[in-house]
Structures are given as C-alpha cells and as structure tokens.
C-alpha cells in the first residue's frame, strides 16, 4: 500500500494520501487521529473532500481549519489535476471543496503549501510553453536544450502567490 504526502497538525493528527480498500475514490485523503498517545486507524475524509476520482497532496493548516489539495477527474477539473480548497465551518465540518479555477492550468497543479507566516501560497505546476512542433524546419539541438532547461518546460516548476489572493479567489467562487 502506498501512503504519501503527510501533513501533521498541531493536535498531532496525521493527514496523508492512500488508496485503501475503504476508499471513497481511487486515491483519497485520510486522517489518522492522535488519541491517547497513539494514532487511531486512518479514515478517509468525507465527500466534502474526497470524490470518486483522485485526491492527493493535501496541505492541512496546523490549526486544521483549511485544506488545499489536488484532485484529478472531477467535472470542473481543467486538465490533469487542479488545486481545491476547503475550510472548516463553526461546527467543525469541512465545506465542499472548491476549485481554485483562476489559479489552475490545463496541466497538473499540485503540492500546495502555505508559508509559516501565512502570507505566501506555493504550488508546483507542469504548465509549459514548449513549442510542440517545428513546421518550417527541425529544431536545432541548442534550441531543444534551451526549451527543456528553461522554466515552464512541463517538468514541474514552483510558483507562488499571496495567500490573500487565494482567500479572495475562494470567497468569490
């Protein structure tokens, strides 16, 4: 069984991605609660977060009041995986996850992280600006090397935006 991309909160709860038999979808985000000095059996998060498709790479805030994760295969997915955001309400329930559509691309957007000072939001994206065809003449070796060693080469670049802009995106959707 693969288990990956762990996030530990201040309470000690452990969130991670896995594809267990009790999954809601193909890959889900699970939480193993820290209780009485040990971890309880992991349970999949409910359908506000997990769907019948793929959910993975969750960032969970230390206070456990915000989660940003990647999902692939949802009806509103722009491409190979989009970032989604959910917050806990006053009753402690997660709100239905919303696609951060203005931020996502038609490529894989993943590995979210919020800075410790809560001012910056980081993520990885495989968006690219590669020239997929050379109709007039073949590319030279230096052109190909330059294309594949620059940013936005589809290999997963790191991006950042202000956390304020992420929260305003979430509020307007």
What is the pLDDT at residue 106? 92
pLDDT the model gives residue 88? 94
Task: Tell me the pTM.
Answer: 0.85
Where are the extended beta strands (E) located within 46-173? 54-60, 66-72, 82-87, 98-99, 109-114, 120-125, 157-162
CA–CA dist 113, 94 (Å, integer) = 19
**Separation between Cα atoms, residue 86 and residue 14, nearest integer Å:** 17
Q: What is the pLDDT of residue 130?
A: 58
Distance CA 76, CA 99 (A): 7
Tokens of 144: 């190909």
Q: Mean pLDDT across the chain, nearest whole number?
A: 88
Asked if pLDDT for residue 2 goes beyond 80, the answer is yes
82-116 pLDDT tens trace: 999 999 999 999 999 999 998 999 999 999 999 99
Domain edges within the chain: 3-172
The SS3 assignment for 72 reads strand
Secondary structure element (H or E) that encloses residue 84, with its range: strand 82-87
Q: Assess whether pLDDT exceeds 90 at residue 28.
A: yes
Q: Three-class SS of residue 148?
A: helix
Q: How far apart are CA 96 and CA 88, in angstroms?
A: 10
At residue 169's C-alpha, the angle toward residues 70 and 50, to 5°, is: 30
Of 122-131, 144-153, 163-172, the least confident: 144-153
Distance in angstroms between the alpha carbons of the first and the last residue of the chain: 36
* pLDDT range class, residue 126, cuts 50, 70, 90: confident
Q: Which residues contact 118 (CB under 8 A, 6 or more apart)?
A: 163
């Amino acid at each position: 069984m693969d288990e990956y991309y762990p996030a530990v909160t201040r309470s000690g709860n452990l969130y991670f991605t896995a594809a267990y038999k009790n999954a809601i979808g193909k890959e889900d985000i699970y939480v193993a609660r820290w209780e009485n000095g040990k971890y309880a059996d992991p349970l999949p998060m409910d359908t506000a977060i997990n769907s019948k498709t793929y959910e993975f790479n969750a960032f969970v805030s230390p206070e456990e009041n915000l989660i940003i994760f990647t999902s692939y295969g949802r009806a509103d997915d722009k491409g190979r995986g989009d970032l989604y955001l959910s917050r806990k309400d006053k009753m402690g329930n997660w709100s239905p996850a919303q696609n951060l559509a203005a931020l996502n691309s038609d490529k894989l957007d993943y590995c979210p992280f919020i800075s410790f000072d809560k001012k910056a939001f980081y993520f990885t994206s495989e968006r690219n600006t590669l020239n997929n065809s050379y109709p007039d003449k073949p590319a030279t070796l230096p052109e190909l090397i330059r294309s594949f060693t620059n940013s936005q080469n589809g290999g997963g670049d790191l991006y950042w935006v202000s956390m304020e802009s992420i929260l305003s995106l979430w509020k307007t959707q």
